[in-house]
Amino acid sequence: MADFDLGSSFIAALHKPSALLPIAKHREALLYLIETNPVTIVVGQTGSGKTTQIPQFLEQAGWCGDGKIIAVTQPRRVAATTVAVRVAEEYGCELGKEVGYSIRFEDVTSAATRIKFLTDGLLIREALVDPLLSRYSIIMVDEAHERSISTDILLGLLKKIMKRRPELRVIISSATLQAEDFLKFFSPQSDDQPSDQNGKGQTGSIISLEGRTYPIDVLYLEIPTEDYVEKAVSTVFEIHTKEGDGDILVFLTGREEIDNAIQAISERIDQLHPRAQSILALPLYAGLSTEQQMYVFEEAPENTRKVILSTNIAEASVTIDGIVYVVDSGFVKLRAFDPRTGIESLTATPVSKAAASQRAGRAGRTRPGKCFRLYTEDNFQALPDANVPEIQRTNLAPFVLQLKALGIDNVVRFNYLTPPPAELLIKATELLFSLRALDEYAKLTRPLGTRMVELSVEPMMAKTLLTASSFGCLSEILTIAAMTSLGGSVWIQRDGEKKQMESARRKFAADEGDHLTLLNVYQTFVTKGKKEARFCHDNHINFKAMTRAVSIRGQLKRYLERFGIAVDESLSASSAAAGKGESIRRCLTTGYFAHAAKMQFDGTFRNVEGGTILYAHPSSLMFNRKADWVIFHEVMDTGNKIFIRDITKIEKNWLLEYASDFYQLKS
């Protein structure tokens, strides 16, 4: 270890970020720009105060006359709530009065609300009811540079709405220099129809606000590393022995790498000088329970340096104070969807320049910091400027449905900031057609298609829900829909308790497969478990996830009742055992026929075309049970194998019974 010299293996970057300027200085300029331009793009670093200050400036300047509201959208729920809390404090009002927020399951606003923080996904849903978003005088889209699919769709909608509402003001806030792209998107020239608006052809302006961050030294490797996990560990020790005080944040790609790194660190701690400062290595990833995540926020014990090994969650979603050193592997796991096979992949990919600087910025929040990039400066220069926008690599079926409901019949010609590949749109349209959500003219069907839009679950489950009452199992499918939408976070594995978790899980197992098992878990939770945390802890179940399932189920039930579909809960307590299994499995087939597979003698599965080898995910009951035909909720390629999750046995002839034309097309 001693032969590793920090000074010789890392070299300094040429450019250093400049210092600070408070936003108040720009107040008049901002208000003028917003007054005179339909679109204003605000480029601001973290700590510039754009999110908290701009809405208050606007409110004071009179933009809430005539009962109009200022909306500020965020890509994440926590951001919407925490920023609202802070602005309400600064404004001097009770949360939910003049300043409020609205996210799924929580509407903390009132008739008095003038500044409203909400997720961008929720604002899109508001547009389903109020297509011109007429309640709002100003809509500020925050963190637009993240390019989440909801942000992109919202921007497209806003461009359309602005043509009908010239008085509407749109503010786009972005942390990096994608400002020109946003400006170009909103300028008339980028339209299909030529426009000669005020001769200048300009509808917007860009303003830059500097942030209140500290300088960060960025260091690169001189020669690339073969093994960034090992290099991350050795760099942690180099920092620990050669640099001053301050906690270390290491960016890796996933749970496995993080566990390995922590193992390696704990093995090497013994080699430290007995009187030297010690190291406390902590993992951080979304799959941990809330309690496990809280450790990273606690102060390290005396004479101990905290080292947090994290996934991308620490890049934007979670902020930890006291980080002085960042170690960046340069990789991130990115989800992508292959429209040809319909299979999602989740593989480690090099980060973008924007993401790398976001990671580096995590070092300079409380004092000057250092960022060690585990790649060369040439590697960095070769990185793409920004990540591929989500809209270009995701299953678009839910969004095509939403666009149709918003009156955008031709989804190919919609105003996209960056258009998705045609194959993604075609695949989404085909699926929606096979589910009968779209007719042969690709128009939304009534009532099935329009109802599927309203249900906040993915299209295949929405279809399943809407056929459930004809199978007499609506109550059960409601539960299954809520449980599957948790995305595999039902079980919690605590350190060294793998066996215990497995046996806890077996207690709920149903022969028919994972969907009925999930149903058992939920029904035991609400009856025997009395919806209590104690029950969850004893059974290795994620309490937070179960609470969420209860909320989701309630919301779905309310939607169905609004459609006039009654939910009979009277028999639900005994349903799984009472011979409803077959109805439930048949019903699932009406939505998931496109996700069918046949088990082979060796226990692997083949998709219907027969070309793709699928493996039951180890979290599935079907991992070690016999079956013939099955349907599954999800399929994912992790680079090694293609896994299917949430699997249930069905009969082959049900596929023909409920999706004959789909399977005739296939063969």
The total of other beta-carbon atoms located within 10 Å of residue 628's CB is 10
617 binds DNA (CB under 7 A): yes
Q: Rounded to the nearest whole angstrom, what is the least distance from the CB of residue 245 to DNA in the complex?
A: 28
Query: Going residue by residue from 198 to 237, which x/- string records binding to DNA, judged by CB under 7 A?
Result: ----------------------------------------
The amino acid at residue 395 is N
Question: What residues between 454 and 493 interact with DNA by CB under 7 A?
Answer: 456-458, 485, 487-488, 493
Instruction: Cis check for the bond before 283: say yes or no (omega within 30 of 0).
Output: no
Side by side, the strands of the sheet bearing 247-251 are 10-12, 216-221, 369-373, 323-328, 247-251, 304-310, 278-284
Encoded tokens for 58: 């606007």
Measured CA to CA, the distance from residue 564 to residue 525 in angstroms comes to 28
- Given 27, 212, 268, 333, the residue binding DNA (CB under 7 A): 333
Does 500 contact DNA by CB under 7 A? no
Which secondary-structure segment (H or E) carries 305? Answer: strand 304-310
Taking the least distance from each CB to DNA, the nearer of 47 and 603 is 603
Using CB under 7 A, pick the residue from 103, 139, 324, 526 that binds DNA.
Answer: 103
> Shortest distance, CB of residue 388 to DNA, whole angstroms?
11
Give the nearer residue to DNA in terms of CB position, either 186 or 285: 285
Q: Is 643 in the site for DNA (CB under 7 A)?
A: yes
Using CB under 7 A as the binding rule, whether residue 48 contacts DNA is answered as no
Q: Does residue 342 contact residue 265 with C-beta atoms inside 8 Å? A: no
Query: How many beta carbons lie within 10 A of that of residue 184, not counting itself?
Result: 12
Q: Is 559 in the site for DNA (CB under 7 A)?
A: no
- C-alpha dihedral (421, 422, 424, 429), degrees to nearest 10: 160
Site for DNA in 260-319 (CB under 7 A): 285-287, 311-313, 317
Q: How far apart are the first and last CA of the chain?
A: 61
Backbone angles phi, psi at 247, to 5 degrees: -80, 160
Site residues for DNA, 142-201, by CB under 7 A, read 148, 150
Rounded-to-integer distance, Cα 461 and Cα 469, Å = 14
Query: Among 641, 661, 665, 666, which residue interacts with DNA (rule: CB under 7 A)?
Result: 641
Footprint (CB under 7 A) of DNA, residues 397-416:
398
Choose between 209 and 465: whose C-beta lies nearer to DNA. Answer: 465
Query: Helical H runs in 207-277?
Result: 228-242, 255-269
Site string for DNA, 343-382 (x = CB under 7 A): ---x------------------------------------
Min separation Cβ 277 and DNA, Å:
29
Judge whether 262 and 281 are in contact, CB under 8 Å.
Answer: yes
Q: What are the residue ranges of helices labelled H in 488-580?
A: 498-507, 514-526, 533-538, 543-562
Please choose, out of 108-116, 247-255, 565-573, 577-585, the segment that lies near DNA by the rule CB under 7 A. Answer: 247-255
349: left (phi over 0), alpha (psi -120 to 50) or beta: beta
Residue from 335, 544, 586, 625 that binds DNA (CB under 7 A)?
335
Size of the site for DNA (CB under 7 A): 50
Sign of CA dihedral 517, 521, 527, 528: positive
Which of 39, 133, 172, 334 binds DNA (CB under 7 A)? It is 334
DSSP bridge pairs for 107: 102
Binding of residue 557 to DNA (CB under 7 A): no
List the interface residues with DNA, window 105-144 (CB under 7 A). 119, 121-122, 125
Q: Which of 193, 410, 640, 664 binds DNA (CB under 7 A)?
A: 640
Using CB under 7 A as the binding rule, whether residue 104 contacts DNA is answered as yes
Handedness of CA 51, 53, 54, 58 (dihedral sign): positive
State the minimum distance, in angstroms, from the CB of residue 183 to DNA.
Answer: 26
Give the interface with DNA as residue ranges (CB under 7 A): 75-78, 103-104, 119, 121-122, 125, 148, 150, 253-256, 285-287, 311-313, 317, 332-335, 346, 398, 456-458, 485, 487-488, 493, 498, 502, 617-619, 623-624, 634, 636, 638, 640-641, 643, 645
